[in-house]
Each structure stands twice: as C-alpha cells, then as structure tokens.
Amino acid sequence: MKKETKVLVLLGSPRREGNSAVLAGEIAAGARSAGAGVEMIYLHGLNIAPCRSCYHCRQPGSTGCAIDDDMQGIYASMKLCDAWVIASPVYWFTMSAQTKTWMDRCFAFPAYGKDAFGGKRIAIAMSYGGDDPFDSGCVNALRTFQDAFGYVGARIVGMVYGSAMGAREIASEKAVLEAARDLGRKLAASGEQKS
C-alpha cells in the first residue's frame, strides 16, 4: 500500500496570482495528479517576524522558536509534510523578502523534531524579469536554496523558472508550465513507499 505524499506549497510573492504562484500551482496540480495531498500557504500578510538570533531554539531541551507568531503554524505544516514547494519571484537579484524571512526562521526548525530536515524533498519555482536567470539574479536565489538545503540534509528534487513581468504572464509559457507539472508528479512519486 502506498503512503500518500503530503506537499506543502509556500507562496513567497506578494501577488496571489503572480508568476511564481502560477508555477507553484502547476507543480501542485502535477503532485495532485500523482495522488499527493497539497496544502498551500500564502506568506504575504502573515505575521512572520524576522529571526531575533536569540538562540532559544538551540538551547538544550528547546521545543521550538521563541517567537509566537504565524510561523508556529507553518512549522507544524513543515513537519507534517513530506515535500515542500518554495515559490518566489526574483526581487533585487534574489528571493523575495517574504521568502527570505521564512528561510531565516527555518533556523529553528530542527527544534521541532530529530533530523527535522532529513528526508524532506523540495521543489523550487522562480520567476524573474530580464533575459536570463543569470543577469536577473534568479541564479543567486537558486544557489541559496541549494546551499541551505544541502547543508541541512534536505533534497532538492528539481527547479522550474522562467522570465515574466506582468501578473500571470508566465501562463503563456507552455514548456515551463509542463516542466512544472512534471516536477509536481516527480515530487509526489519520489515519496511513494510500500508498507
């Protein structure tokens, strides 16, 4: 019997219908088509404070982050889900502030369980303006994700990214959308287990 893969989609754009959200939606659709359950969290507008560098989460016996805000619920979803989709536009040559604030607060995630990042599978969706992912800064953000999640032992299953400025403009890029759906199916399938 297969275990249902649970996928958490973290939307890091201030635009609910932005280009990175479109890509994340396609990844989610692909994951659902492969039998995964999907939860979506729109980060913009949530009460997520920056990390205070208090190191409460690293003290012996700590059970989590000392900041009591909306991130507490996100930690619970992060722990429950097998796979995460992180979606962000490029802002000023890297990920959005909403995404970076969430990333910084991931510092406390190990306090929520032994080897909290271990076994997590991650898909990245990025949109950028400009001609290519290098001069736009998209590669800077992708490298940050690679370095951070490699360091904590999570596995990036794949990345999709494309150039678009106007809201939902990327919806006309059929090849990128299909790549996103394929990534969602791969994200779900890589979690199949037999009991």
- 116-149 residue pLDDT tens: 999 999 999 999 998 888 889 899 999 999 999 9
Give the pLDDT score at 191.
62
What domain range is 163 assigned to? 6-189
Q: Is 138 part of any domain?
A: yes
Res 60 pLDDT > 90 = yes
Q: Is 19 part of any domain?
A: yes
Q: Is 11 part of any domain?
A: yes
Q: Is 194 part of any domain?
A: no
Cross-strand bridge partners of residue 87:
11, 125
* Nearest Cα residue to 30 out of 12, 1, 7: 7
- Round the average pLDDT of the chain to a whole number and report it: 94
pTM: 0.94
Opening angle at CA 98, ends 96 and 100, nearest 5: 70
167 phi/psi in degrees, rounded to 5:
-55, 130
60 phi/psi in degrees, rounded to 5:
-55, 130
Q: Dihedral angle at the C-alpha atoms of 35, 141, 16, 45, nearest 10 degrees?
A: 110
CATH code of the domain containing 70: 3.40.50.360
User: Distance (Å, rounded) from C-alpha 23 to C-alpha 86?
Assistant: 10
* Nearest Cα residue to 20 out of 182, 183, 162, 181: 162
What is the count of structural domains for the chain? Answer: 1
